[in-house]
Chain A
């Protein structure tokens, strides 16, 4: 790391040169280790994902995630039989919270995939080709950006009836412009980078330039942003459900569970506490990971 002529050094010595920039390749776990939050976030996030995947096997009453009621067991306080207590129709809250991971993660994945694909496509096209295409695409993006997701969900709920899927669609509809903007900025700056010109000089076709050079380099910040956004999407989806525009009972969606338990906040605290905590935990996990990734990729900046 120190005392070196820049030119004639053996390979091993150079490899450790501390030279990090945004959009460089993954700098390795060595740097990750210096970001405790990344580790914590990854572990938490992995737990949430695992919980979602293994839900049917690790929950005591898997059927409680669906349309069942147990009138005799309503609003039982947390106990050995019901770790998180039961809700107003006697369903096991622990079971529903664990299954809720599936719903939330499903929404997150859907929104991220859709908005990343759309956003990257639009953003890269705008940034790479520039000119009037850029202006048109970016103004359209601005319009969508100015449009509140909530209201769109209302429209979708009115047209197609409220559900988790439609909420996810509404979120994606207003989420992609962020990626479009980000990707456009990246593509435009990459286009100005020497290696873009270099590719042209070497005779690379536009497609090759986009796929081999622009996309991979523009994608990193988008991916980092996506991990930060996962938290925001979970919160937005929960908010929509809370307003009755998202998932509908008996879907074990965390925001919906909080909404249902709200009248009981003072009397049966466990009904809102655990799903609310699940939202918080998952959002924190994603934010930790996102922040950690950003720190690793761009140590100067840390958080956005």
Chain B
């Protein structure tokens, strides 16, 4: 589905992310782990073609289903974003426009992607049910919902778009542990029901381990290690990956 070669994201002279090679098949989940500032979010933005809006530049090749994305025009990109590929941003509440209701955003987005008026309501409700949200939430403004609800709403929104690839940037780190596991559950459902390929970003390897088929560990913009989840979690080749694993707090490890 996704094929990345020698992707490099830079701001001015500084390179903030460099991915030599990455392949992701339909229905697969790729986990990206790494400490804060390691370039995870920048990688995600680059995949969505959003880097230049932040003032950065991208080199290298990204292909989606065989189509080269790096050469797309603005207009062509719009046919990709929200239709074939979508993204959930790191901070759930901040990523919703404070002045419009959740329903308005949802409706406009569906309209944008050609969902006929008659179908929209049903589509919205179905998507909300999947993330266990009451459709009443559509009439609320972002400041009237909790962070967990906002995050689940964002997932419902992109799920309703039936995209092929979903990029989720730290969808759980802003949440309580109890809500965290529910979100993971929803993502798992998406992948199982719709065969969506997911890029899942987190600094917590334990969370990634629950969902991902492959894991990529980043540090200071570079890929440290890359491989199947079980291999990375249980037989990490790099010292840094081991540190990262050790940093995950575990009940009953020391006292």
A and B in contact, CB less than 8 Å: yes
- Within 8 Å of chain B (Cβ to Cβ): is A2? yes
Contact A6 B14 (CB under 8 A): no
Some 6 contacts from A to B, beta carbons below 8 A apart, are A1-B14, A2-B221, A4-B220, A5-B37, A5-B219, A6-B37
User: Which residues of chain A from 1 to 38 have a CB within 8 Å of any chain B CB?
Assistant: 1-6
Contacts of B37 in A (CB 8 A): 4-6
- Within 8 Å of chain A (Cβ to Cβ): is B80? no
Please list the 9 inter-chain residue pairs (A to B) with the smallest Cβ-Cβ separation, ordered nearest first.
A2-B14, A3-B220, A3-B221, A1-B14, A2-B16, A6-B36, A6-B37, A5-B35, A4-B37
Contacts of A2 in B (CB 8 A): 11, 14-16, 220-221
Contact B35 A3 (CB under 8 A): no
Contacts of B219 in A (CB 8 A): 5
Distance, CA A75 to CA B64, complexed state (A) = 77
User: Which residues of chain B from 166 to 182 have a CB within 8 Å of any chain A CB?
Assistant: none
A contacts, CB < 8 Å to B: 1-6
Contacts of B35 in A (CB 8 A): 5-6
| B206-245 to A contact mask, C-beta < 8 Å, 1/0 | 0000000000000111100000000000000000000000
What is the CB-to-nearest-CB distance from A168 to chain B, in angstroms, rounded to a whole number? 42
13 new A-B contacts, CB < 8 A, other than A2-B11, A5-B35, A5-B37, are: A1-B14, A2-B14, A2-B16, A2-B220, A2-B221, A3-B14, A3-B15, A3-B220, A3-B221, A4-B37, A4-B220, A5-B220, A6-B35
Contacts of B14 in A (CB 8 A): 1-3
| B28-54 to A contact mask, C-beta < 8 Å, 1/0 | 000000011100000000000000000
What is the CB-to-nearest-CB distance from B119 to chain A, in angstroms, rounded to a whole number? 39
Question: Which residue of chain B is the closest to A7 with respect to CB atoms?
Answer: B35
Contacts of A5 in B (CB 8 A): 35, 37, 219-220
| B1-38 to A contact mask, C-beta < 8 Å, 1/0 | 00000000001001110000000000000000001110
Distance, CA A3 to CA B220, complexed state (A) = 4
| B69-93 to A contact mask, C-beta < 8 Å, 1/0 | 0000000000000000000000000
Contacts of A4 in B (CB 8 A): 37, 220
The A-B contact count (CB < 8 A) is 22
Distance, CA A3 to CA B192, complexed state (A) = 36
What is the CB-to-nearest-CB distance from B34 to chain A, in angstroms, rounded to a whole number? 10
Main secondary structure, interface of A, reads loop
Contacts of A6 in B (CB 8 A): 35-37
Contacts of B11 in A (CB 8 A): 2
What is the CB-to-nearest-CB distance from A259 to chain B, in angstroms, rounded to a whole number? 46
Distance, CA A1 to CA B12, complexed state (A) = 10
What is the CB-to-nearest-CB distance from A18 to chain B, in angstroms, rounded to a whole number? 9
Contacts of A1 in B (CB 8 A): 14
Distance, CA A2 to CA B16, complexed state (A) = 6
What is the CB-to-nearest-CB distance from B232 to chain A, in angstroms, rounded to a whole number? 20
Distance, CA A254 to CA B134, complexed state (A) = 66
Distance, CA A20 to CA B43, complexed state (A) = 24
What is the CB-to-nearest-CB distance from A25 to chain B, in angstroms, rounded to a whole number? 23
Counting chain B CB atoms within 10 Å of each CB, the highest count among A1, A2, A5, A6 belongs to A2
Contacts of B221 in A (CB 8 A): 2-3
What is the CB-to-nearest-CB distance from A225 to chain B, in angstroms, rounded to a whole number? 25
Distance, CA A6 to CA B35, complexed state (A) = 9
Contacts of A3 in B (CB 8 A): 14-16, 220-222
Distance, CA A5 to CA B220, complexed state (A) = 7
Distance, CA A4 to CA B16, complexed state (A) = 10
Question: Which residue of chain A is the closest to B16 with respect to CB atoms?
Answer: A2
Distance, CA A260 to CA B119, complexed state (A) = 72
Question: Which residue of chain A is the closest to B15 with respect to CB atoms?
Answer: A2
Contacts of B36 in A (CB 8 A): 6
Distance, CA A5 to CA B38, complexed state (A) = 8
Distance, CA A4 to CA B35, complexed state (A) = 10
Distance, CA A5 to CA B224, complexed state (A) = 14
What is the CB-to-nearest-CB distance from A5 to chain B, in angstroms, rounded to a whole number? 6
Distance, CA A186 to CA B36, complexed state (A) = 31
Distance, CA A1 to CA B36, complexed state (A) = 14
Question: Which residue of chain B is the closest to A5 with respect to CB atoms?
Answer: B35
Distance, CA A1 to CA B37, complexed state (A) = 11
Distance, CA A1 to CA B13, complexed state (A) = 10
Question: Which residue of chain B is the closest to A1 with respect to CB atoms?
Answer: B14
Distance, CA A5 to CA B37, complexed state (A) = 7
Question: Which residue of chain B is the closest to A17 with respect to CB atoms?
Answer: B37
Distance, CA A2 to CA B37, complexed state (A) = 9
Question: Which residue of chain A is the closest to B221 with respect to CB atoms?
Answer: A3
Question: Which residue of chain B is the closest to A3 with respect to CB atoms?
Answer: B220
Distance, CA A6 to CA B34, complexed state (A) = 12
What is the CB-to-nearest-CB distance from A288 to chain B, in angstroms, rounded to a whole number? 24
Distance, CA A3 to CA B36, complexed state (A) = 11
Question: Which residue of chain A is the closest to B36 with respect to CB atoms?
Answer: A6
Distance, CA A52 to CA B155, complexed state (A) = 63
| B128-167 to A contact mask, C-beta < 8 Å, 1/0 | 0000000000000000000000000000000000000000
What is the CB-to-nearest-CB distance from A116 to chain B, in angstroms, rounded to a whole number? 33
User: Which residues of chain B from 51 to 73 have a CB within 8 Å of any chain A CB?
Assistant: none
Distance, CA A2 to CA B35, complexed state (A) = 14
